[in-house]
Structure formats: structure tokens, C-alpha cells
Copies of this chain bind each other. A is one copy, B any other.
């Protein structure tokens, strides 16, 4: 039974999120329906990140098992054909070893958050960026963002209904820069808590507007209290841009170890894969 890795790009606006739910169309549902239409097979696909309603992706990753051994290029073309007219596109399809798991094999997830910082309402970017009217100081936001980098208890920056066992995460990098009227924030971590990126970006906005200093961000992080978080940024500006995986040989060994429960001892981050 071949396993395929799909790299997925989608416009999150019409969806209740990545994950199949009863209350509306999901990205997962669109792809599973496309698989059914193309191959006749009823499948459940696993994604690297459970993006929320309205959150976008340019590099979400999912895996898919099919009974029949189709060439990867055939699967790619057929899924793109059957996903239409929904705004979901498969950018790449590769055959993988059976140990590959889009969620558990991931070693780093990358998110981008885009703010359009101008007085005038959004036009082309409506739903695709967060509109902030007050002038933002990107350099101050970047400096404050460094407070988040490293191994921290992110209780302040997780959704109150976040289901992760532990609030500890290791943020690898967090950069904020201005590009014309856009403010681009990019952050990378093995995994994120629910609403973590949007909570951090919403808080950095207070710094960009001059209402908070970097010291206030450090205090909010140290508080380990959801109420210390700034107003959470809307889903509109958030994009899951890339997921990194370990090489296949490490994957097999690591997955076996994980399944044997050893990963639990090795760290708190192995089982988390939510991302916004």
C-alpha cells in the first residue's frame, strides 16, 4: 500500500479549517473527496498542522495511503483536477516510505504572518492579511520577538482550549520585517500550541504601536497566564508555509521509538502538531 506525501496550498477563507468537521467545509474534506472521485477509495488523510478556520497555507503537508500503486504524477494531476473549484491545490506529490507521517515525522514547522499596515481599507488582500491602521515599528517588533525564541512555557500564548499536554515549546526563530506597507513576521518551531502564532503576533502589535516595550512581552511570557496575552491576531494573515522532515532512515528508527513510548521520555514536544 503506497504512501504519498502531499504539499498543499490553500486559501483558508471558505473553510472551517484544515480538519474535517460537521459544521462546514474543510480542506481535509476537499482532498478526501478528490481522492474518492479519482480512485474510488475512501481515505482519511493526516496533516502536519491543524490550521484554524480562515488560516491559509502555502506549504501544508499531508500523507495519504492508496490501495493502488499510482505514479505520483498521476495522483498530483488527478487531485488538482478534482479539488477544483475549491481553492485547494496540491503543489507536489511524492511516494514515501511507510514510516513517513506528515504530523509525527515533522521536525520543524514554519509560519508566516502578514499585516498590511496602512490607513486605507484592504482591497486585494481582504481576508489574506491583517489590517492594522496605526503605524507599526517593525524593528521594535523584531526586537521584542526575540523574547519568544528559545525554550519557554507558552501558557500565556496558547488558546484556553489548547489540548497539548505541555505548554513548553522551543521556538527556533522569530523575525519581523517591513516590506513596503506590509509587516512580515516569520517563526519556526518543531511544533506550536493552539493559537500560539496569532497570540504572539497580536502581542507584538502592541509593541509595534509603541504601547508595550520588549520588557512587557517578557513579563507576559513569564506570567504563564492567558490573561497576560495581548489581543489575538485574526486568522486572515496566517500562512503555514513549510514543514521540514527528517531523513527517511532516521524517520523509521525515530517512529519506532516513538511508538514504543520512548519519545515521551525524550521530550514534551513529540506529540504536538497544531499550529495556529
Q: B87, A9: Cβ atoms under 8 Å?
A: no
Query: Beta-carbon contacts of A123-141 to B below 8 Å, as 1s and 0s?
Result: 1101010000000000000
Chain A interface residues toward B at CB < 8 A:
9-11, 56, 58, 76, 80, 83-84, 87-91, 118-124, 126, 128
**Set of chain B residues within 8 Å of A11, measured between Cβ atoms:** 123-124, 126
CB < 8 Å neighbour of A87 from B10, B118, B124: B124
Are B10 and A89 within 8 A (Cβ)? no
Interchain CA distance A56-B124 in the complex, whole Å? 9
Distance from A20 Cβ to chain B, minimum over Cβ atoms (Å): 19
Quote the shortest CB–CB distance from A86 to chain B (angstroms).
9
Q: Which residue of B lies closest to A125 (CB)?
A: B11
| CB pair A88 B9 closer than 8 Å | no
Query: Could you jot down 25 A-B contacts, CB within 8 Å?
Result: A9-B124, A10-B123, A11-B123, A11-B124, A11-B126, A56-B124, A58-B124, A76-B119, A76-B120, A80-B119, A80-B120, A80-B121, A83-B121, A84-B121, A87-B122, A87-B123, A87-B124, A87-B126, A89-B120, A89-B121, A89-B122, A89-B123, A91-B118, A91-B120, A124-B128
